[in-house]
Amino acid sequence: MQTQALSLFERWTDPRTHAVALRHREIIRRFGRFPHRNSALKRSSTPAELQHLQQKRSAQSAR
């Protein structure tokens, strides 16, 4: 779904929004899901997902 939507994002949105869509597709490609939704959906995170989430938090706190 993410891959199919990319052409629409590229055509109908600004470059910044398209870049967000590209990052989302990469997360789905890498993990098969959005790891940040695991808690809300009551599913366990893999070690790789936990590392990804920690890196994301660290990057956000550095801003």
Confidence of residue 61 (pLDDT cuts 50, 70, 90): confident
Helix segments in the chain, DSSP class H = 2-12, 15-31, 47-61
pLDDT-derived band of residue 38, with 50, 70 and 90 as boundaries?
very high
- pLDDT of residue 50 exceeding 80, the answer is yes
Q: Name the average pLDDT for the chain.
A: 93
How many domains would you assign to the chain?
A: 1
pLDDT attached to residue 7: 92
What CATH number is attached to the domain comprising 6?
1.25.40.10
Of all residues in the chain, what percent carry a pLDDT higher than 70?
Answer: 98
Q: Which domain holds residue 28?
A: 2-61
Predicted pLDDT of residue 45? 98
